[in-house]
Amino acid sequence: METANVVILSFFFIFAIHRLFNRLHSRSTKMKPLPPGPLAIPVLGHLYLLLEKNMHHLFTRLAARYGPVLYLRLGSRNAVVVSSVDCARECFTEHDVTFANRPTFPTLHLMTYGGTTVGTCAYGPYWRHIRRVITVHLLSALRVRSMVPAIEAEVRAMARSMYRAAAAAPCGTGAAKVELRGRLFEVALSALMETVAQSKTSRSSMGGAADTGMSPEAQEFKESMDVMIPLLGTANMWDFLPVLQRFDVFGVKNKMAAAVSGRDAFFRRLIDEERRRLDDGVESENKSMMAVLLTLQKSEPENYSDDMIMSLCFSMFSAGTETTATTAEWAMSLLLNNPEVLKKAQGEIDAHVGNSRLLGADDMPHLPYLQCVLTETLRLYPVFPMLIAHESTADCKVGGHHVPSGTMLLTNAYAIHRDPAAWTEPDAFRPERFEDGSAEGKLLIPFGMGRRKCPGETMALRTLGLVLGTLIQCFDWATVGGVPKVDMTEASGLTLPRAVPLEAMCKPRQAMLDVLQNL
């Protein structure tokens, strides 16, 4: 009863402060009109909108009604949503420095080592330091090239696993039903473990039926991510209303803490193994990313703590696994629904690479249509449809509207990528639109834009090209049960996974049997 009274009193106190703040705010912005927006309710403001499962669809509908710059009051925070090419360009070119900061959220604070990951830290000296570490030591052109053999090895392992599954298929059909999400996540994680920490998953030691599933390491990391990411999507009330944070009404803090604990144990094992190798004098020809960081730690311990190394690892692993697995799964879904595109991509690979070897990273520049397939997939299904939120550090104008300092900026990349004013048949899957540079100049921002753009874009695209190209080169694909179309329903949340994991019939191509048998 006492707790209930405290909650009620806190609610009315927040309501009174809210009314006072609104009066002061309206006076200060009397001559500076804010962007238009839907009706707000007391205290909560527009938080009721966040109950929508797919916010990018909701904001697209609201933009059609109120215009490309939408104002929202989310509990204790102000926010604007931009949904047009021109406004996005304005934010990330003319006002790039103004919007270079990130908002702080309690859930993100728990998840990102106090907001110290490269994607969530405040804009300033620390961000410049960590960005330089990534650019110079972790994702330089030389470093990305050195990662290619590990990525190629994991892609070969995936092809071998799928060939064995098809060979063991009943009734001599030569085709196996495969669930792609776990396999794709495994490839991405295994490649990162090898390049970041010179560590391997235990998948290679599995045999028989177990070879078709994820390794324990991949499952462990994926389970922690599967807990954390949905909490970031459904815990918005907790993030925007301080009274809920105090009482942890939804149990968000406990759930997040448990997932973070499991994730950190995973990273600590990787750090301890790499430190042990370095202490024993074991060094490979190409140092792993973690070995580089631990070497820097010895000379600059104040700049390279274990927590800082773990935050860098988390940035790499969270972006490198989810981006690759989700995008490749959407790409295969689109190809299954557009078999003529699949045949055209297969023909390009056959013409350039042939059937006597697997394609490699050096083949990618000679496979322009495959690149068009990837680009069109990222246009239609950006992994973060609303991108990662930014925050203004000064008053500015966007689309002619006043945006106060401290306003959160949400960018509807999904709407921008499907804007009928910019794209012909915007909802159609047509990779040909990118052939011969015909779509140059149109805005595509699946990895963000401006100085806070994702630094891992090059590595992600290289991995995606190898994964998707190998799946196309080695196997023929069909829908399960011969259904005419794959269901393209999206799941809810901050990211854009499929609602149902993709299952498809996979059959080794006759022309590639000799290669697959010798993997």
Distances (CA, A) of 321 to 114, 188, 263: 22, 5, 14
Q: How confident is the model at residue 479 (pLDDT cuts 50, 70, 90)?
A: very high
Of 7-16, 105-114, 364-373, which has the strongest mean pLDDT?
A: 364-373
Instruction: Give residue 194's pLDDT band: very low, low, confident or very high (50, 70, 90).
Output: confident
Q: Tell the burial category of 316 from Cβ atoms under 10 Å away from its Cβ (0-12, 13-18, 19+).
A: buried
Tokens 């083949």 correspond to what residue? 363
- Residue 71 in this model has a pLDDT that exceeds 70: yes
Q: Which residues pair with 504 in a beta bridge?
A: 178, 479
Task: Look over the chain and give the mean of its residue pLDDT values, rounded to a whole number.
Answer: 87
Q: Is the model's pLDDT at 145 over the cut of 60?
A: yes
Between residues 354 and 10, the one the model is more confident about: 354
* Residue 141 banded pLDDT, cuts 50, 70, 90: confident
User: Under 8 Å CB-to-CB from 29, ≥6 apart: which residues?
Assistant: 402, 404
Q: What is the pLDDT of residue 17?
A: 54
* Conformational region of residue 35, where left means phi above 0, alpha means psi within -120 to 50, and beta covers everything else: beta
Closest CA to 111 of 302, 245, 262, 243: 262
Rounded-to-integer distance, Cα 178 and Cα 212, Å: 9
In this prediction, residue 31 carries a pLDDT of: 56
pLDDT per residue as tens digits for the range 356-369: 999 999 999 999 99
Residue 485 has pLDDT above 50, yes or no: yes
3-state DSSP call for residue 498?
Answer: strand
Domain ranges of the chain: 32-517
> How far is it, in rounded angstroms, from Cα 146 to Cα 149?
7
Consult the annotation and say whether 454 binds a ligand.
Answer: yes
Q: Give yes or no for a contact between 349 and 472, defined as CB atoms under 8 angstroms apart.
A: yes
Nearest to 495 by CA among 302, 309, 319: 319
Distance (Å, rounded) from C-alpha 153 to C-alpha 389?
35
Nearest to 87 by CA among 455, 449, 494, 451: 449
Spatial contact of 432 and 439, defined as CB atoms under 8 Å apart: no
- Architecture of the CATH domain 32-517: Orthogonal Bundle (1.10)
Residue 250: is its pLDDT beyond 90?
no
pLDDT of residue 417: 97
- Which of 194-208, 335-349, 454-468 shows the lowest per-residue confidence on average (mean pLDDT)? 194-208
How many Å apart are CA 67 and CA 37, to the nearest integer?
A: 9
With 70 as the cut, is the pLDDT of residue 474 above it?
yes
Q: Tell me how far apart the alpha carbons of residues 449 and 443 are, in angstroms, rounded to a whole number.
A: 10
